[in-house]
Structure 1
Amino acid sequence: MTETANHGYTDGVVDCNPTDNPTLESIVAERYSRRQTLFGGVSAIAAATMGGMLVSACGSDNEAPVVTAGANATVSAGRLVTLTGTATDKQEVSVGWTQVSGPAVTLQNANTNNASFIAPAVSASTPLVFEYKATDSKGKAATAQTTITVTPAVLGFTAVPKGFDDLVKVPDGYTVSILYRLGDPIDAATPAFANNGTDTGFSKRAGDHHDALYYYGLAATGNARDDNNSARGLLVMNHENITQVYLHANGPTSTGGIRPEAEVLKEMECHGVSVIEVTRSTAGWNYVQGSTLNRRTTPLTPVSFTGPARGNALLSTRFSTAGTDGRGTVNNCANGFSFWGTYLTCEENWAGYFRRAAGDNAVRGGATAKDVVSLNRYGIPEGASGSYGWSTVVPADAASTVYARWNASATGASAAADFRNEPNQFGWVVELDPYDPTKAPRKRTALGRFGHEGCWPSNVVAGRKPAFYMGDDARGEYLYKFVSAQPWVAADANATDRLAIGDKYLDAGTLYVARFAADGTGTWLPLVFGQGGLTASNPSYPFADQADVLVNARLAGDVLGATKMDRPEWTAVNPVTGEVYLTLTNNNATVRPLAGTDAANPRHYNDPRAGVAQRGNPNGHIIRLKETGDSSEATSFNWDIYLFGADSAEADANNVNISGLDASNDFSSPDGLWFARPQNASGLVNPLLWIQTDDGAFTDRTNNQMLVAIPGRVGDGAAKVITNTGADGTTRNQLTYPGKAATQATLKRFLVGPKGCELTGVDSTPDGRTLFVNIQHPGEDGNLTTLQSSWPATQGGGSSTARPRSATIVITKNDGGIVGL
């Protein structure tokens, strides 16, 4: 048998499926002479902290203090408001603010002249009345009131222009700081990162390719969970992949096709997940290097399998002949969370890591053998070399199988003697408890095996079964939903054994795949053994049992006739409406030719880049659906297309730029997707939707970017027939269902990243005043001789010769308000 020594990275065969409002600063703040009205009671600046006792000019002992509370004002939801009162003519006066009416807010520094609050979320103009009171030492008091009218939230910033700088650029009025970078040590014993390729010990350092993340609140002291703490928490994030060339002193090496063990160990440890403690002080945010809660999960970490496939022969390997245990997680991309406080990390392009020898098909029984059909469908064809050549390592410990397991060839007498089934141990949703480092992560097999790109939960309702929405990230793949067998019990949100609650809700239920109909409706098709052709007599793939259906969910979706989508990626659920959003990043003419469009994937056009044709749907779109009855248990839904990516300068406005994008909000290849948290005004009434791009098609116009939107609802647009055009000029009409067109009031560019990066991963603190964002693989197209980027060193005006590093950034509003509003 012959093999090719190709040690670069590959995903495997992934296409396997045959008006800005004025700022508060502009509200005039003029103080009139004593005993006159004080104007300018609202200011969008941080409140000044003053003592409760003020010294003023002398006056008659028989007079009460003279007070003013500021003029009435109007402000939009989510803005920081400062109330300014004055008390005069008394030497000793105690002062304070109270709220008289309107939606309750939390007043900061209430016993001073300058109290502040965040304007609450409202659906219509709503007055809030506040009273300022001053009392002298003899008990004489005087009061004054002011009314702050709060209007619905708006996007409160000027759009960032497109650009090519080697910086993270955000709107005026915001600050970016760097929090956690590739190689940063997470314990006290690990030295600082040299960033020259000589560093080791990545099981105690930040991994590479920071991806999806989620913030988990911690109590002010100790390790207890506190979902509402916005000053101390755990940041959990994925490390999807590596930029191999920058990890080693002189780039990766091999000798005779064999990779050095030390290099491969470093590369493996750079994958996986980080859990790090983060804290906010007056100086800003930092991660706590020596926290006992810090940890890394890598491809070497022990994991266990749960659910229907646990113990099945399809999971049996030389390492775990019983098919119950495994080692680690890899290519972790998007994520999800649970309402009981755990993290869901998702294994995406795991298939490309596996080698399979030429001639392996014959050893397995030929091209029609079940496992060969399965391997091909998941993108591990005969002759696959395996990303980075991990399987080629000859370990110092001859008994070690850490590297051999990446060779999926059938070399032994049975699956128990080799790693032919090792690919079946990947492609899962993995649950871990951020608060408990002692518990091994659990791979939840009931949620199916594919190129998982997120696992976002439905809004939970007591007595109703929760659902989790998942995209399969490859062109022509499907959208899935898992509905738990157990109805939600509110008390479970606060259980201390969180992984046991995961066992309850994630190990039994029904996995569905989506079929989108031409009339704007859709159906969830159950992947249940014995139903819909998922039987042992199915001619294309004979399923043995429910475990087989779940291990081979792609094949099951094929049989059921699921709708092939334009590369389904992140899912996000609107915390108010429950509507589900899905990014469809892009497609090409090979996978979706002119004749292959449908209502849910309707465009076929050309967006040339640097003179080279890009045909198909190179700019992607975002689809959304509304479950029938707004129920997570529904088996049908309505859908429309929320936004179409496009180049506003060149795209056909009628057939390509269907969403009416302009220079302030055009985008391409939507990827990351996240709704603001419902614990603050940005996630209430009309929650903000954050959109991140992972693009190649639009990089002649800008670096990758992040936008923020105030979306409408499914059905807020109208049906439309577009005309698609093929390479030969042939045209074809296609009916589709666009949502309401975007405007600068509903969609704006908030951030542009550094050179060569992908924007991926976003979450906030519960109060919405801090946004965490991940910058992945800056400078990925460079090398040690010609760097494309030196970010994040360049963010602070530092070295332009430093190796680039993936990193987590912190974005805050300079006035202390809610980010985006």
Structure 2
Amino acid sequence: MAQQDIIDSEDLPTNLTQNEHFQDVVARATERRGFLKKGLGLSAALFLAGPLAACGGSSGSDDSSAGGGDGGDGGGTPAEPLLGFKAIGISTADTITVPEGYSAVSFVPWGTPLMAGAPAWKGDGSEDAAAQALQVGENHDGIHYFAIDGKNGEGEDSTEGLLVMNHEYCTTVGGGTYQWLFGPNHSPEDWDLDKAHKSMNAHGVSVIHIKRSNGKWDIVQGSNYNRRITAQTEMELTGPAAGDVLVRTNADPTGRKVFGTINNCGNGWTPWGTYLTCEENFNNYFGTTHADGDQRDDAQKRYGLSATSTGYRWQEVVDRFDYVKEPNESNRFGWIVEIDPFTPNSIPKKRTALGRIKHENAAYNLTADKRIVVYSGDDQANDYIYKFVSEGKFVEGGDNSRLLDKGKLYVAKFNADKADDADFLGKGEWVLLDKDENATLRADARFPNQAAVLVYARLAGDAVGATKMDRPEWVSVHPSNGDVYVTLTNNSGRAESNAANPRNENIYGHIARWRETGGDAAAMTFEWDIFVLAGNPNVYGDDDARGRAGSDNITKDNTFNSPDGLGFDKAGRLWIQTDGQYSNAGDYEGQGNNQMLCADPVTKEIRRFLVGPKECEVTGLTFTPDSKTLFINIQHPGERGDSHWPNGSGMPRSATVIVTKDDGGVIGS
């Protein structure tokens, strides 16, 4: 997810290896297939080769064995066609826009009282750290609805449940100062431990018990389920890296107890009823007050730690965020964290077997023999895509609490070898990141044991030749056939064009997908293609890949940039959310505010469904089991100072949006 200028951008690659880039693979595959290499350099058959008609995207299947990057929990058998709503136009208004026949209301904005004793939102930033720990956090992101009857399963209650959501970071506006958290009159010189703690308490996760009555959703006040998890909450490191020397600190010589989770971006969920929150840009919280400046080692540089100062300034008053004073503290972040929302006093678990990267989200599937698979992208320009395959098998209704602690971690390598299926472009393979079984890693002194491989998963991916990607963000699994989709949001820094991507800067992004061999998520090989290349025909014509990319799939009516959030509903609709440029000018003319679109994977039609308020990101999606209520999040409205959403006045606030169909029907139908 993109953040403010004071924070190291995901657009700046830290991967300096010579590993092949995905665009180079695409170029070679394109040349092999004989596509035009002049002018457009593409064909609709390449960039719009969506899933086969036989994939059954409109079958309405509700296969609980396929997870969907959290978006995979909507449902219902859709009417024909799959996309039944009337597309909306762009908007630059400071409001939520939805199709005719739909309604949208804001819900649980930042600062909403959640826990007992929480003060009401003041609107001037004067709450202290203790108050923020009892209120809903800032900058909502990944989200999931757990039906109240969903312990050890998804449940079917669509009127009462636990809404669990991430709070990624604190918004800043100009000059590198906290503007909203401490109010518009905050001075950079006014900095102390309580302010750092307030910032920490604005991060993390909220568990919110909600119930619908008379058509309106409300918080169940006083519920034991209501909970705030912050950057100061006690957590446990589990799995192969737990206890290793690389995660031991002065405060925790055991290497097993961590305080807090930070930069919680996208999310996932499990079929046994737990929530997965993903630590993305954790690197932005670690700096140093050391007088000699940059003291980073190679691994810290590869993970993008700041050389000296950070915009959050925690390192100035909290020693553990000073990487010179505590060089291993940053190794305790960058994990997927499992939370049991139905057990309020449970300790969140950082599952080290899934590897330490800048996790965007976590999408699950089950193998043919019921092992759990978790896919995740590393959201940085030129970084990789990973999957974890558990050793143990999922047992419905059984004890799956340690299932994510043992298994194998793999990184993706996309090849230009001709796919067996004519509707796919190339082949790929999953490269095992295991110290004992991979000869390359076994010979590399940087990895004395498997714990080091997992702590330095990026470096392990470098070593085995993983394929560089254009900022892999959300991953989602088709609920019927198991095809896996990933948003590659953009890579504006890439300077070399090629036949498959004739623009020097991939400013609009694209969506790729792959199918595991044999349809089994445990497969070690796959076939891949590109589902859609975003573009802008308002600026570039049909003969330019920055416009329609050679197809009517992208038109002036549905143009977008920087696909980010992604999720399938049970019927097979693919929901696409954007976090890109909202200037509505230059290369982005006619694209309006950030938005959410919906795609039919079979016909490849894309329609705009929702547009957010000014200067926001649209992110996170989840449905009630009857698929008649959709929850999404609006993050950082007014990040440049030009929004008063959702209140219409005063400071802008991130918030959840509840979308329903006026006739009470299935969303999207």
TM bin, normalised by shorter chain, reads 0.7 to 0.9
Aligned equivalents of 2:90 and 2:126: distance in 1?
36
* Displacement of 1:362: 9.0
Relative to structure 1, is the Cα distance of residues 296 and 534 closer, same or farther in structure 2, using a 3 angstrom cutoff?
Answer: farther
Relative to structure 1, is the Cα distance of residues 667 and 751 closer, same or farther in structure 2, using a 3 angstrom cutoff?
Answer: same
Per-residue deviation, residues 733-754 of structure 1 (Å, max 9, x unmatched): xxxxxxx7x4xxx210000100
Aligned residue in 2 for 1:455: 362
Aligned equivalents of 2:270 and 2:576: distance in 1?
21
Q: Does 1:776 align with 2:635?
A: yes
- 1:217/1:234 contact within 8 Å kept: yes
Choose the corresponding residue for 2:239, options 291, 296, 307: 307
Relative to structure 1, is the Cα distance of residues 621 and 288 closer, same or farther in structure 2, using a 3 angstrom cutoff?
Answer: same
| RMSD across aligned positions (CA) | 2.5
- 3-state SS in 1 of match to 2:133: helix
Choose the corresponding residue for 1:689, options 560, 574, 579: 574
Aligned residue in 1 for 2:378: 472
Q: Which has the larger radius of gyration?
A: 1
Aligned residue in 1 for 2:331: 424
Per-residue deviation, residues 284-339 of structure 1 (Å, max 9, x unmatched): 11222322100011010000010000000000011211111100100000111111
Q: Does 1:649 align with 2:553?
A: no
Choose the corresponding residue for 2:416, options 518, 526, 534: 518
- 3-state SS in 2 of match to 1:175: strand
Q: Does 1:289 align with 2:289?
A: no
Aligned residue in 2 for 1:253: 187
Alignment of 1:337-416 (within 5 A): 337-356=269-288, 372-381=297-306, 383-393=307-317, 403-409=318-324, 411=325
Per-residue deviation, residues 604-643 of structure 1 (Å, max 9, x unmatched): 41xxxxxxxxx51000000000000011110000011111
Relative to structure 1, is the Cα distance of residues 470 and 642 closer, same or farther in structure 2, using a 3 angstrom cutoff?
Answer: same
State the one-letter code of the partner of 2:404: L
- 3-state SS in 2 of match to 1:629: helix
Relative to structure 1, is the Cα distance of residues 426 and 771 closer, same or farther in structure 2, using a 3 angstrom cutoff?
Answer: same
- 3-state SS in 2 of match to 1:557: helix
Alignment of 1:108-507 (within 5 A): 121=77, 152-200=80-128, 201-219=131-149, 227-243=155-171, 244-255=178-189, 259-356=191-288, 372-381=297-306, 383-393=307-317, 403-409=318-324, 411=325, 419-459=326-366, 461=368, 463-489=369-395, 491=396, 494-495=397-398, 501-503=400-402, 505-507=403-405
Aligned residue in 1 for 2:521: 632
Identity of aligned residues (%): 41
Aligned residue in 1 for 2:35: none
* Larger RCO, structure (CA 8 Å, separation 6 or more): 2
Aligned residue in 2 for 1:15: 13
* Displacement of 1:648: 2.2
Flag structure 1 segments of 5+ consecutive residues without an equivalent. 1-5, 19-76, 80-118, 123-150, 364-370, 394-402, 412-418, 606-614, 677-682, 713-739, 783-787, 795-800
State the one-letter code of the partner of 1:759: V
- 1:238/1:332 contact within 8 Å kept: yes
Aligned equivalents of 1:698 and 1:748: distance in 2?
21
* Displacement of 1:666: 1.2
* Displacement of 1:537: 4.1
- 1:12/1:353 contact within 8 Å kept: no
* Displacement of 1:197: 1.2
Aligned equivalents of 1:214 and 1:459: distance in 2?
19
State the one-letter code of the partner of 1:518: A
Per-residue deviation, residues 79-103 of structure 1 (Å, max 9, x unmatched): 9xxxxxxxxxxxxxxxxxxxxxxxx
Aligned equivalents of 1:698 and 1:631: distance in 2?
43
Per-residue deviation, residues 735-782 of structure 1 (Å, max 9, x unmatched): xxxxx7x4xxx2100001000100001111000000001000000011
Aligned equivalents of 1:361 and 1:13: distance in 2?
24
Q: Give the alignment's TM-score, normalised by structure 1.
A: 0.68
Choose the corresponding residue for 1:675, options 568, 591, 595: 568
Relative to structure 1, is the Cα distance of residues 165 and 487 closer, same or farther in structure 2, using a 3 angstrom cutoff?
Answer: same
Q: Does 1:562 align with 2:463?
A: no
Relative to structure 1, is the Cα distance of residues 698 and 254 closer, same or farther in structure 2, using a 3 angstrom cutoff?
Answer: closer
Per-residue deviation, residues 377-404 of structure 1 (Å, max 9, x unmatched): 10125x33123211212xxxxxxxxx21
Relative to structure 1, is the Cα distance of residues 558 and 652 closer, same or farther in structure 2, using a 3 angstrom cutoff?
Answer: farther
Per-residue deviation, residues 133-170 of structure 1 (Å, max 9, x unmatched): xxxxxxxxxxxxxxxxxx63431221111110000000
State the one-letter code of the partner of 2:135: R
State the one-letter code of the partner of 2:435: F
State the one-letter code of the partner of 2:651: R
Aligned equivalents of 1:675 and 1:321: distance in 2?
43
Aligned residue in 2 for 1:710: 600
Relative to structure 1, is the Cα distance of residues 765 and 471 closer, same or farther in structure 2, using a 3 angstrom cutoff?
Answer: same
Relative to structure 1, is the Cα distance of residues 376 and 604 closer, same or farther in structure 2, using a 3 angstrom cutoff?
Answer: farther
State the one-letter code of the partner of 1:471: G
- 2:10/2:379 contact within 8 Å kept: no
Aligned equivalents of 1:157 and 1:388: distance in 2?
43
Per-residue deviation, residues 402-440 of structure 1 (Å, max 9, x unmatched): x2111011x4xxxxxxx1100100000000001001111
State the one-letter code of the partner of 1:760: T
Aligned residue in 1 for 2:20: none
Flag structure 2 segments of 5+ consecutive residues without an equivalent. 17-57, 61-74, 172-177, 418-425
* Displacement of 1:646: 0.8
Relative to structure 1, is the Cα distance of residues 190 and 169 closer, same or farther in structure 2, using a 3 angstrom cutoff?
Answer: same
Aligned equivalents of 2:183 and 2:625: distance in 1?
41
- 2:294/2:308 contact within 8 Å kept: no
- 3-state SS in 2 of match to 1:387: coil
Choose the corresponding residue for 1:548, options 452, 455, 458: 452
Q: Does 1:508 align with 2:421?
A: no
- 1:240/1:330 contact within 8 Å kept: yes
Aligned equivalents of 1:7 and 1:759: distance in 2?
19
Bigger shift: 156-165 or 444-453?
Answer: 156-165
- 3-state SS in 1 of match to 2:320: helix
- 2:299/2:456 contact within 8 Å kept: yes
- 3-state SS in 2 of match to 1:750: strand
Q: Does 1:811 align with 2:659?
A: yes
- 3-state SS in 2 of match to 1:204: coil
State the one-letter code of the partner of 2:147: G
- 2:154/2:271 contact within 8 Å kept: no
Relative to structure 1, is the Cα distance of residues 583 and 328 closer, same or farther in structure 2, using a 3 angstrom cutoff?
Answer: same
Aligned equivalents of 2:373 and 2:215: distance in 1?
41
Per-residue deviation, residues 262-303 of structure 1 (Å, max 9, x unmatched): 222111100000000111111411222322100011010000
Say how many residue pairs are matched.
587
- 3-state SS in 1 of match to 2:330: helix
State the one-letter code of the partner of 1:617: N
Relative to structure 1, is the Cα distance of residues 754 and 12 closer, same or farther in structure 2, using a 3 angstrom cutoff?
Answer: closer
State the one-letter code of the partner of 1:475: A
Aligned equivalents of 1:224 and 1:619: distance in 2?
40
* Displacement of 1:460: 5.4
- 2:441/2:463 contact within 8 Å kept: no
